[in-house]
Chains A and B, each alone.
Chain A
Amino acid sequence: QQQVKQSPQSLIVQKGGISIINCAYENTAFDYFPWYQQFPGKGPALLIAIRPDVSEKKEGRFTISFNKSAKQFSLHIMDSQPGDSATYFCAASRGGGGTYKYIFGTGTRLKVLA
């Protein structure tokens, strides 16, 4: 019930294409769903996040789509660029900002071809 399942494990996209990464969760108590971007040799960095009271959040080329009834959320990267090549992790947290429990997906390695 605490798992967050992420797919695909790896993804290759042409420059200018759309990258889509999916995550599914089981615990309905989760109330914060972030996506992290990690470059080789670096720590994960927050990319974009959503709360379950909205179905979509967009920041530049990055969009989170959230389906509460299906318990799924996805990251869409529009106009993908070679600089977007990185590993992406979805995550889920619960209990409001007053706790520090995080469950991460297993990661998606994205490669954008020039």
Chain B
Amino acid sequence: EAQVTQNPRYLITVTGKKLTVTCSQNMNHEYMSWYRQDPGLGLRQIYYSMNVEVTDKGDVPEGYKVSRKEKRNFPLILESPSPNQTSLYFCASKLAGRYEQYFGPGTRLTVT
């Protein structure tokens, strides 16, 4: 089944404790992206990648890091999480040259 998977689905952590949210897709998509969803703000793009080793900032990149060492994986790293990063995070992917993107199921992160 073609899909985008994220792990973990739920995470509660404390301020300053480094964490990684994994994202993987099995559709051979070149492009991958991370979003955060907050009430009243919709989805905001954090980072995106157009190929292996090629990443770029979205609209809200502060406090986040990404890496793209393999085509199928695009982990999101929070090196020192803060409470304002409590949010619902989505990974998405799409084919190069196409507009349609496919979202993962989401990761709900709580930073206390």
On A, residues with C-beta under 8 Å from B are 2, 6, 9, 32, 34, 41-46, 49, 89, 91, 93, 96-107
A89 to B35: give the CA distance in the assembly, Å.
Answer: 13
Which bucket holds chain B's interface residue count? 20 to 34
Q: A34-B99, A97-B97, A97-B98 are in contact. Are A102 and B45 (CB under 8 A)?
A: yes
Flag the segment in B11-19, B36-44, B78-86 that touches A: B36-44
- What does the 1/0 interface line of B69-101 toward A look like (CB < 8 Å)? 000000000000000000000101011111111
The count of A-to-B residue pairs whose CB atoms sit within 8 angstroms is 65
Q: Is the interface of A mostly helix, strand, loop or mixed?
A: mixed
Q: Is the CB of A101 within 8 A of B99?
A: no
A-B contacts, 11 listed (Cβ < 8 Å)? A6-B42, A43-B90, A44-B103, A49-B100, A91-B43, A97-B96, A97-B97, A100-B48, A102-B33, A106-B40, A107-B42
Task: Check B58 for interface membership: any CB of A closer than 8 A.
Answer: yes
B50–A100 touching, CB < 8 Å? yes
**Residue in contact with B42 in the complex, picked from A34, A41, A42, A106, CB distance below 8 Å:** A106
List B31-63 residues whose CB lies under 8 Å from chain A: 31, 33, 35, 40-45, 48-50, 58-59
Query: How far, in whole Å, are A32 and B98 apart by their CA atoms in the complex?
Result: 10
A101/B90 in contact, CB under 8 A: no
Residues of A within 8 A of B49 (CB): 100
With both beta carbons as reference points, the residue of chain B lying nearest to A98 in the complex is identified as B97
Assess whether B42 is in contact with A89, with CB atoms less than 8 Å apart.
yes
Minimum CB–CB distance for B100 against chain A, Å? 6
Nearest B residue to A2, CB-CB = B59
With a cutoff of 8 Å between Cβ atoms, the chain B residues found around residue A106 in the complex are 40-42
In the bound complex, what is the Cα–Cα distance between A72 and B49 (angstroms)?
A: 29
Contacts A100-B94, A101-B48 given: A43-B105 contact, CB under 8 Å? yes
B99 touches A43 (CB 8 A): no
